[in-house]
Structure 1
Amino acid sequence: MKINWGTAIVLVFAGFISFILFFVIKMNTNEKYEHDLVTEEYYKKELAFQKEIDAEQNSKNLKKDISVRKTPEGLSIQFPDDINAEGISGTILMYRPSNKKLDFEIPIRLSNTELKIPNDQLIEGRWNMTIDWTYENTSYLFKHSLSY
């Protein structure tokens, strides 16, 4: 059987479209190829970006910024000594880039300037920490990446 040019072109296009559709369907249905967004509410977060920039600048303007260090018990977060620890409020977000199921948030309630996150809450690997806190109606933001 002889195939003319028109039939060959249609067969090539049909094969190519089938090939592309196969991979599109495979990528969307197979759990091995999960493709989550970095953050769930990306556009809402983008609108509040200027407030984040201002809060980070406020944090940099402090005499002493937050310090983070590993200890045998866990992660130690030291807030500036020159401010009243009981006046600090906010949250600490521990974000795991490789698995969003491991993300967690801790409210900040301090009696002294140190906060500890125990080892049992942290699994080995990379973590992005975001400390969003306020003191005397001023917002501060501290971001830190660490390998645990």
Structure 2
Amino acid sequence: MKFNWGTGVVLAFIGFIAFIMYFVVTMFADNRFKNELVTEDYYGAELLYQKDINKLEKSKELTVNVNYLRTNDGLKVVFPKGFDYTEITGKVFLYRPSNKQLDFETSIVSLSDSTLLIPDKRLVDGRWNIKIDWQYKGNSYLFKESIIY
């Protein structure tokens, strides 16, 4: 068999197709390349997004918004001082972009002061998205931020 340019082109195509097939199979089979959706019901969540926009705008009207700080005990969420902390309700959602199993939600039911402590044992070092959806005297507010813990 003679090796000419036609044979070389055919071998190049076969090599290229084999490389692409190897790449595709590796991407689907390897767990390192698994990507998860932010939410299971993506389109349903998108329809509710306007309510979140309204809450964010309401939060911008506050003179002092919700704040947070890292302590030895965990992440301390600090609500505005001028508000009666006994009337604050809502929920805190922490989303870990790299691992869905670490996501969790905590209810704000009854505060003993103007802070809420999320224990250190619940949080792993790294990037988190925090979403605090809270209500005070019939007004709804929203605080969203990416944090490094």
Q: TM-score range by the shorter chain?
A: 0.7 to 0.9
Report the RMSD for the aligned CA atoms in angstroms.
Answer: 2.1
Query: Aligned equivalents of 1:142 and 1:70: distance in 2?
Result: 17
| Structure 1 unaligned regions, length at least 5 | none
TM-score (norm 1): 0.84
Q: Percent identity?
A: 46
TM-score (norm 2): 0.84
Pairs within 5 Å for 1:43-58:
43-58=43-58
| Structure 2 unaligned regions, length at least 5 | none
Query: Aligned equivalents of 2:4 and 2:69: distance in 1?
Result: 73
Query: Aligned equivalents of 1:6 and 1:126: distance in 2?
Result: 53
Q: Give CA deviations for 1:92-148 in whole Å, capped at 9, x if unaligned.
A: 111122222211111111233211111111122222211011223322110123222
Number of residues of Structure 1 aligned to a counterpart in Structure 2 = 148
Structure 1 stretches of 4+ with a deviation exceeding 6 A read none
**Deviation, structure 1 residue 58:** 0.6
Query: Aligned equivalents of 1:68 and 1:88: distance in 2?
Result: 16
Match in the other structure for 2:73: 73
Query: Aligned equivalents of 1:45 and 1:3: distance in 2?
Result: 60
Match in the other structure for 1:130: 131
Pairs within 5 Å for 1:32-47:
32-47=32-47
Query: Aligned equivalents of 1:31 and 1:102: distance in 2?
Result: 17
Pairs within 5 Å for 1:103-122:
103-111=103-111, 112-122=113-123
Q: Give CA deviations for 1:54-107 in whole Å, capped at 9, x if unaligned.
A: 111111111321121122222211112323323322211111222222111111
